[in-house]
Chains A and B, each alone.
Chain A
């Protein structure tokens, strides 16, 4: 059976991991490549690198990083952050990224999804959607949840699927950082609405939250950052527990 995926997410700034990490055995806790290797060895199914740097040099640094990661690890990885054109994507894929994730640029220019899907195939186009509830409606937000758009989460999800996205990474801004669990109701609605895989993001605090998002939220994959970086949850233990709950995972 196709397994549910566990995806650690690393925030990158100027080629270094940003959020503090708690790996005692790391020589250099800020080295994304070394961290990627550890996660890969521990059984992560994929990795996501989110570039949050804003300098002019960012692109070159990111490309160097992508090459280093691709030459070191043998599991798939996605690169996101600041990607706004076909040529941005081309250089990342040529250097070994498997998928790219686009967010604000897709909202501003939805045709980008079609263009990327046509040129590189849907399988490498992940559309990330950040949303939070306003008056009971899930509204898509930009800039890390700061700027609301006119878009409804479910309408937008349907549209990105039709435009050729291969996967949706949904982050609930209401849940992100709370460690109270994923937005399973919205996730389940999404999962029934579209026929492409959904990655759940935002709210992971304990192992039960992952069980719930796969069973109740019908998610195909779950992404988290700090619970992995601070070793609050070890991927091996997590996967064992998922298996004990009859959730198919790669062990």
Chain B
């Protein structure tokens, strides 16, 4: 299986590389459109600030490529947020794959949310064999509100979409590569799609 991690200069990619290796696969890092198109599975990572990450996607031309991909694509954390319509972070537009706008937690709660929280209302093959209310590791200040494309829900200040799916596009707000054995199971499920 050919796994490509989209390399656009955003985020800590080594953790996801190691997690993929622990599952017995190998991934390559690439920003080459042909290589990305030819992959069996695509991972779209991201840590950092939304508008500058979006700027890097625009400059590299990946902004037009990603929404046209046909194979399973998994956006993680900021990657998921960038797949939405737009984000309040730096008031940037997104890739418009998921029909939801990313907004910020209010100061009623500590921001960022940092740590382990539960996922529930699971509805996707991504969560095959995963029990409701398992804990995932999350670090984020912005979130996608509940919406029809939500395939997992988490509660922090409000109930929000901690994972999204539209066709072949998947996104998780949590870090499966940092969420223990259950997180690795979710990654393994993605590679089985």
Contact = CB atoms under 8 A, between A and B. Distances in A.
A250 B181 CA distance: 13
A59 to B, nearest CB: 17
Nearest to B117: A2
A196 B107 CA distance: 10
Contact of B114 (A40, A93, A118, A220): A220
A218 B19 CA distance: 33
A96 interface: yes
A2 B139 contact: no
A144 to B, nearest CB: 26
Given A70-B18, A121-B49, A75 B137 contact: yes
Contacts of B47: 120-121, 123-124
A12 B15 CA distance: 21
Contact of A71 (B12, B21, B114, B183): B21
Given A96-B12, A250-B135, A45 B116 contact: yes
A95 B12 CA distance: 8
A45 B116 CA distance: 8
A166 B49 CA distance: 13
Given A3-B135, A197-B114, A250-B135, A96 B178 contact: no
Contacts, number: 91
A51 to B, nearest CB: 18
A5 B115 contact: yes
Q: A interface, how many residues as a size bin?
A: 20 to 34
Interface residues of B, number: 35
Contacts of A75: 137, 178-180
Given A70-B14, A121-B49, A124-B47, A2 B112 contact: no
Interface string B161-193: 000000000000001011111011000000000
Contacts of A67: 14
B116 A98 contact: no
B115 A221 contact: yes
B155 interface: yes
Nearest to A118: B49
A3 B117 contact: yes
B178 A71 contact: no
B48 interface: yes
Contact of B116 (A40, A93, A124, A250): A250
A94 interface: yes
Contacts of A250: 116, 135
Nearest to A166: B112
Interface in A124-150: 124
A1 B118 contact: yes
Contacts of A197: 110, 112, 114-115
Give the interface centre of A2, A98, A122, A196 by most chain B CB atoms within 10 Å.
Answer: A2
A74 interface: yes
B38 interface: no
Interface string B110-125: 1111111110000000
Contacts of B37: none
B118 A96 contact: no
Nearest to A2: B117
Contacts of B12: 93-94, 96-98, 124
A42 B180 CA distance: 11
A177 interface: no
A67 B18 CA distance: 9
B85 to A, nearest CB: 22
A136 B116 CA distance: 36
B115 A40 contact: no
Q: Top 9 nearest A-B pairs by Cβ distance?
A: A96-B14, A250-B135, A121-B48, A123-B139, A250-B116, A71-B18, A2-B117, A3-B116, A76-B178
Given A4-B115, A195-B111, 4 more contacts: A3-B117, A122-B112, A123-B140, A250-B116
Interface of B: 12, 14-15, 18-19, 21-22, 47-49, 107, 110-118, 135, 137, 139-141, 155-156, 175, 177-181, 183-184
12 contacts: A1-B118, A2-B113, A70-B18, A74-B178, A74-B184, A93-B12, A96-B15, A118-B49, A195-B107, A195-B110, A196-B112, A197-B112
